[in-house]
């Protein structure tokens, strides 16, 4: 794991962020990695190096074996509840507060379903892939937040009608929540600076937000521990852990953050 001494932040980047009237941030699993939540595609530790997404993260998988799928997501739900936001989540929340206090816009868009941005104080977070902390009924649609211990049955039953409940996440082959997607696209299109943090950038439509940002004339910035397939498209590609780079950036920007 690198520390600050290996990372240098271009002064042009700091100035760009300091002066931006509107910043849009897209985060992925890498932002929560330092909180102890596995990513998906990291070779040794990623979920998709151990499990097949088509057996767990599709409507067909749930229809074929609801108990198995619900149990796997419930284990992930409890892991998320046991994890704390890290310095990267806190720095982003502080940057958002700082921007808003200065009358500027700062939209936080995430593919993560762990709610750690919100736990760190992030406000009005746009959740593109839903959340693991809400489970909704497959029959009547009743949804409730679940912060308790493991479910007693898999899949858990709806309190209103007794039918099976599922996590309120987006599975492969499903459409994203329309309002979240529209807000994310608009933020990307209208921002001055677009930051992509801790995402491999291969899952659409989230991966297409950089195109909207570029079409809208934004400068684009990537923060990742390693180069991604898209690194060449970014004006700035900063290599380092989000939990180290983001507090550095916040500090350089003059943002007060308790990291």
Please give the full DSSP string across 21-85, using - where no structure is assigned: SEEEEEE-THHHHTTT---SS-TTT-HHHHS-HHHHSSHHHHHH-HHHHHHHHHHHHHHHHH---
Local structure of 126: helix, strand or coil: strand
- Contact between 170 and ligand OAD (CB under 6 A)? yes
Nearer to ligand OAD among residue 161 and residue 229 (C-beta): 229
CA proximity to 227, closest of 30, 12, 24 = 30
Q: Would you give the binding string for ligand OAD spanning residues 92-121, x where CB under 6 A is met? A: -------------------x----------
Nearer to ligand OAD among residue 30 and residue 155 (C-beta): 30
Could you tell me the smallest distance in angstroms from the CB atom of residue 27 to ligand OAD?
8
Q: Between residue 35 and residue 94, which ones bind ligand OAD under the rule CB under 6 A?
A: 39-42, 46, 53, 57
Tell me if 109 sits within 8 A of 187, measured CB to CB.
Answer: yes
Contacts of 6-9 with C-beta under 8 Å, sequence gap 24+, read: 6/240, 7/238, 7/239, 7/240, 7/244, 7/245, 7/248, 9/238, 9/245, 9/248, 9/249, 9/252
> Any catalytic annotation for residue 129?
yes
Q: Which stretch binds ligand OAD (CB under 6 A): 75-83, 180-188, 195-203, 251-259?
A: 195-203
Catalytic residue among 89, 98, 117, 129: 129
Nearer to ligand OAD among residue 158 and residue 246 (C-beta): 246
List of residues contacting ligand OAD (CB under 6 A): 28-30, 33-34, 39-42, 46, 53, 57, 111, 129, 170, 172, 198-200, 203, 224-226, 228, 241-242
Residues noted as catalytic: 129
């Amino acid at each position: 794991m690198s520390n600050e001494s290996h990372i240098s932040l271009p002064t042009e980047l700091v100035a760009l962020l300091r002066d931006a009237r509107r910043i849009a941030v897209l985060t992925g699993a890498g932002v929560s990695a330092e909180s102890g939540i596995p990513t998906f595609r990291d070779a040794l530790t990623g979920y998709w190096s151990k499990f097949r997404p088509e057996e767990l993260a599709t409507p067909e998988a749930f229809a074929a074996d609801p108990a198995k799928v619900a149990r796997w997501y419930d284990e992930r739900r409890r892991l998320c509840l046991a994890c704390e936001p890290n310095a990267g989540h806190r720095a982003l929340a502080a940057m958002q507060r700082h921007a808003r206090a200065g009358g500027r816009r700062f939209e936080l868009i995430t593919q993560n379903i762990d709610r750690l941005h919100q736990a760190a104080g992030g406000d009005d977070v746009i959740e593109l892939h839903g959340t693991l902390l809400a489970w909704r009924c497959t029959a009547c649609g009743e949804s409730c937040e679940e912060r308790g211990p493991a479910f007693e049955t898999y899949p858990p039953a709806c309190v209103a009608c007794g039918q099976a409940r599922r996590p309120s996440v987006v599975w492969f082959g499903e459409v994203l929540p329309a309002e979240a997607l529209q807000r994310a696209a608009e933020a990307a299109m209208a921002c001055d600076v677009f930051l992509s943090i801790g995402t491999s950038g291969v899952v659409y439509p989230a991966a297409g937000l950089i195109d909207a940002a570029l079409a809208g004339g934004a400068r684009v910035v990537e923060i990742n521990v390693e180069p991604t397939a898209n690194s060449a498209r970014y004006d700035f590609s900063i290599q380092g852990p989000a939990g180290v780079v983001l507090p550095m950036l916040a500090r350089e920007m003059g943002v007060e953050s308790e990291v």
